Amino acid sequence: MKEKEKLIAIVASLLLVLLVLGFLIRSVFFVGSGRGTSPLTTSGVVMEDAPAALVEVSGDKGQGNQDGSQTEENHVYSTFTLYEQDPVTLSGIAQLQTNQAYFYDKEKGDIATVKVRDGQFVKKNDLLYTYEQKAVETQHEIEDLMREQTRTYNQREVLIKQLSDYTGALYNYQGDRISGYWDPSGKQGYYIEEEIGNYSLADGEANAYTSGDPTVEGMKDQIRQVNEAIEDLEIKLIRLQEKQQGRVLAKSDGTVVLNEEGKDNTQVAFIRIVSDEVSVTGTASEYEFYTLEEGRPVSLYVNAEDRDIAGEIISFDQIPDSGNNNTTGKTDLTPTVTSSKGADFNFMISAAEAIQPGFSVKIGIKLPGVVLPVESIIEADDQTYVFVYREGIAEKVAVTIERQGTQRVVLRELSAGDILLLNPYELVDGQMVTTDLSAETNQDSW
């Protein structure tokens, strides 16, 4: 009996020991259970106070706006600064005798009257002969120009009246501000108080024509543009009227050599004007032909004397030379077959001072206008535009482009120093733009 009681006591003691051990083991593994169970990482490290959700961290893809949208990077425009054209340099030689040929032009009609005789001495701009104009196209062109001229005159009158109403000042027919006065005889006269100016003024001079009022300056700019359009129309009208009248004038002083065979033969010179004046003759290639224009001033450098002389182009061939050197100074316009090396065109220059015959001369031809890069030109609505960069703003400017060889040139609306925006697509007038002037395109990049 006693042995049975001892066995029960031992079992009870073992159960108690197991109970105590179980309690101790639970306390070790679940310490901190009062704070809640902490999650374990895969490495067995306890992540205390871990957030309830994981946050994905991505790389910086650009600064975002407060509404979560992405800010678009500003476009940086390349620029081009306009520059004055360098003179085109040609070579020439001083000739003892000037011999200018005048040929019958059947497109002008028949020769109607001859105003000179063989052996007669004539002065520059004397009338040599006239054409009888048969075609009516020239008359129609003149009538169209006169109608356009009238509309342009009316447009200018409206603009000047608007300027006068806005400023309260008086202006003459072309927009110059005038003031009145009374002379001693009691008659009222006017004098120009401020000229309206034009686009060809130098930068320093242009400041004299600005009032500071943007509205006034905008009106003046419109009047200046109309003035220039009127000037162009008047020049075209004069030239067409001369063409209609068919007047042929002497281009220099000299003695007339008349050949009746050339009166209706385009291959024979009808009249030659021969003089003992020294002239400069030379040839221009087909790539330099665009530099030739009658009446264009040139600069002459005499190599042997190291001196500069002024000159003027008095004639040039419309038909290329055969390729033989022209040492006679003649400017015959006889059709010839050119070689594969390209066409050469003879020209003649009148020098302001005497040059020793036979001396070589360097000829500098300064061309008007500034050259536009093709990347700056926008054509839309039958107009041609460029965008000029002015103090962070893109200003849309309408331009009239002329071709000088392969170059596109603007004569009036732009000037050297203006900064153009390249590839200005989608731009609007007055838009703020960002440019990279440090990487400005130079003249050799297009």
- Residue 229 burial class via C-beta count within 10 angstroms: exposed 0-12, middle 13-18, buried 19 and up: middle
Clarify whether residues 177 and 264 are in a common domain. no
What pLDDT does residue 321 have?
63
Distance CA 368, CA 143 (A): 30
pLDDT along the chain (446 residues), means of 10: 71 75 64 44 40 36 38 70 90 84 83 91 89 71 87 92 92 89 79 74 42 83 91 84 75 89 88 86 90 90 94 84 43 42 83 90 92 88 88 89 86 88 88 72 42
Clarify whether residues 258 and 386 are in a common domain. no
What pLDDT does residue 271 have?
92
Residue 162 maps to a domain: yes
Residue 304 maps to a domain: no
Distance CA 343, CA 320 (A): 6
What pLDDT does residue 133 have?
67
- Paired strand residues for 308: 301
What pLDDT does residue 118 have?
93
> Contact, 421 vs 79, CB < 8 A?
yes
Clarify whether residues 107 and 174 are in a common domain. no
What pLDDT does residue 245 have?
65
What pLDDT does residue 27 have?
62
Distance CA 421, CA 436 (A): 10
| pTM of the predicted model as reported, rounded to 2 decimal places | 0.50
By DSSP bridging, strand 370-372 and strand 188-194 are: unpaired
Tell me the one-letter amino acid at 8: I
Residue 293 maps to a domain: no
Containing structural domain, residue 223: 137-198+214-245
What pLDDT does residue 105 have?
84
What pLDDT does residue 121 have?
93
Quote the number of domains for the chain: 3
Clarify whether residues 373 and 383 are in a common domain. yes
- Residue 421 burial class via C-beta count within 10 angstroms: exposed 0-12, middle 13-18, buried 19 and up: buried
What pLDDT does residue 323 have?
47
